[in-house]
Structure 1
Amino acid sequence: MVKKLLSLLLVALFMLAACGNQDTTGNEDSGSEDTASNGSDEDDDAIVGDGTQTIVYLGENYPVPAAIEKIVTASLESMEDALMLGVKPDGAIATGGEFPEYFGDSMSEAAEIGDKMQPSNEILLQIEPDVILGTSKFQPEVAENLNSIATMIPISHFSTDWKDNLLVLAELAGKTEEAEAIIDQYENDAANLREQLAEKMADKTILMVRIRGGSVYIYSEDVYFNPVLYSDLALPVPEEIQASETQEMISLEKLAEMNPDYLFVQFEETENAEAPDALSALQDDAIWQSMEAAKNDRVFVNSVAPMAAGGTAWSKTEFLKVVEEKLLD
């Protein structure tokens, strides 16, 4: 009898233990289901859990680390955006082995990664960037090499994309509010200046040219600094600018025929290495001196840094100040 009671007691204890294990297993399964459900409801959780985030720029998705610590600016446009936002990149392109003077100390923490045509893979590998802000002008093989190091976002060189360019860096650097404030300020300032210039400049020709390789170039109305003049300020667009496709070389005679009332001239020495006296030669020419702008002392040389990209928040803001100063005097 005792043996029988002991046997029954052991069976009862075994069954209780089995039930306890079954409950525990059931609770763990339930917890797993809840976690899976939350993950499927919120896609962002999966992205963060993977240690990456997706940056959307001009309709394309770019995977980058969730925590951005090292940014390389491999284009003049992104360097100017960094200057505007107070972001100090870990690497940046150089011109003639140095950063253009107008960047001041904004590139003080940046390693020189080579020139704008083909940044150095070796230096970039040493930096180990989280993201590279390149340019849409990179050749396919250059873009492919950079993407093998870190996600390369091809920053647009078109002036009309200036807001998107500024905002993508702002998102990476946690400065979106600052970027939005910069955009709002520029648009308000441009609207105010446009109103002041509307009547005064209605019959005037305002032109910006760039001297490269000793030749004079004009740009279409949506390229370089021209959107400031002809879009943001709604100044009269010369026929030659309307007909121009991106960048077009013109003769001195053609420039004189356009006969600008106000002429902004950009002349960078490194772009005229084989014709260092090109600007002075033009200024001494009788044809140049026949223009209204020259006769009335309204030719403004390098009123903005001559290496400036033209179509960035920094370039546009600086040029707007210059236009206000020169055209409202």
Structure 2
Amino acid sequence: MNLEALLAYGPDLIIAGNSVNKEITGELSRIATTVVIDEEETNVWNDWPSLVTKFGEILGQEDVAERYIAEFREKVKDAKEKLAGLEGTVAFVQVREKEVWLQGTDYLKTYYDGLGLKAPDADIMKEGAQITLEGLSTLDPDHLFLGYFNYSDKSIPALTDEWDDTAVWSKLKSVRNNQVYSINGELALGYGPIGQTYGVESVLEALK
């Protein structure tokens, strides 16, 4: 945290995390009124509706927060209904410059539970892990989402660029059937409502 930049910004209110901002809570409170959120109790990393609800309470805008969450859940419900007839398994991977990470079902509950998508049958799917092309070929999903972290800046390389001309890649079911989809991984595979809204819309557009 750049405290000088924060001071120059001149906030009236600062909302901080009890863990991530633990070392600077005192400094923050000298800049402006500071409300500290218990990150574990509110589950800020895995349940953004709880965090939005907390924001609503802090700001006296409970109705705004409730409406925002309801609209998102309605969007997910509508998408799930439209994808009810989807056949086959779906996998999401996070693509970075030098590594690729399989995103687990525990992490992507909005997509797997919320949209009713079926994951490949493998133990690794629960929590996810760093994965190679050979590991991906073992899963061999029918639909594959590549969540690029260079989506907005193609000058940054992506490890999957090296996969395109390989025999293993060409034999994947998703590749053979033209069911590989590129998405913005920084948004779709993140924690918050803006990214997950984008993700739901992108998944629906790709699979409907």
Is residue 192 of structure 1 aligned with residue 78 of structure 2? yes
Q: TM-score, normalized by length of structure 1?
A: 0.52
Asked if the contact 1:221/1:241 (under 8 Å) is kept, the reply is no
The runs of 5 or more residues in structure 1 that have no matched partner are 1-118
Which residue is 2:147 aligned to? 266
The corresponding residue for 1:232 is 114
Overall identity of the aligned pairs, in %: 25
Residue equivalent to 2:192: 312
Deviations 1:240-276 (Å, cap 9, x if unpaired)? 45442xx521111011111111111122239x99x72
Residue aligned with 1:283, SS:
coil
Figure out how many residues of one structure are paired with residues of the other and give that number: 199
Which aligned pairs between 1:53-202 and structure 2 lie closer than 5 A?
A: 119-134=1-16, 138=20, 140-142=22-24, 145-147=27-29, 149-150=31-32, 151=34, 153-154=36-37, 157-159=44-46, 161-173=47-59, 175-201=61-87
Structure 2: runs of 5 or more not aligned: none
1:171/1:157 CA distance change after superposition, 3 Å: closer
Shift of the alpha carbon at 1:214? Answer: 1.4
Q: Does 1:321 align with 2:201?
A: yes
Any conservation in 1 of the 2:106–2:126 contact (CA below 8 Å)? no
Q: Does 1:282 align with 2:159?
A: no
Q: Residues 254 and 318 from structure 1, CA distance in 2 versus in 1: closer, same or farther, beyond 3 angstroms?
A: same
Partner of 2:96: 212
Change (3 A) 1:143 1:266: farther
SS in 1 for 2:101: strand
TM-score by length of 2: 0.78
In structure 2, what is the Cα distance between the partners aligned to 1:189 and 1:170? 21
Bigger CA radius of gyration: 1
Note closer, same or farther for the CA distance 1:250–1:187 as it changes in structure 2 (3 Å cut): same
Cα distance in 2, alignment partners of residues 212 and 179 from structure 1: 33
Q: Contact (CA 8 Å) 1:263, 1:293: kept in 2 or not?
A: yes
* Distance in 2 (alpha carbons) for counterparts of 1:220 and 1:295: 24
| Aligned mates of 1:145, 1:218 — CA distance in 2 | 39
Measure the CA separation in 1 of the matches of 2:18 and 2:142: 35
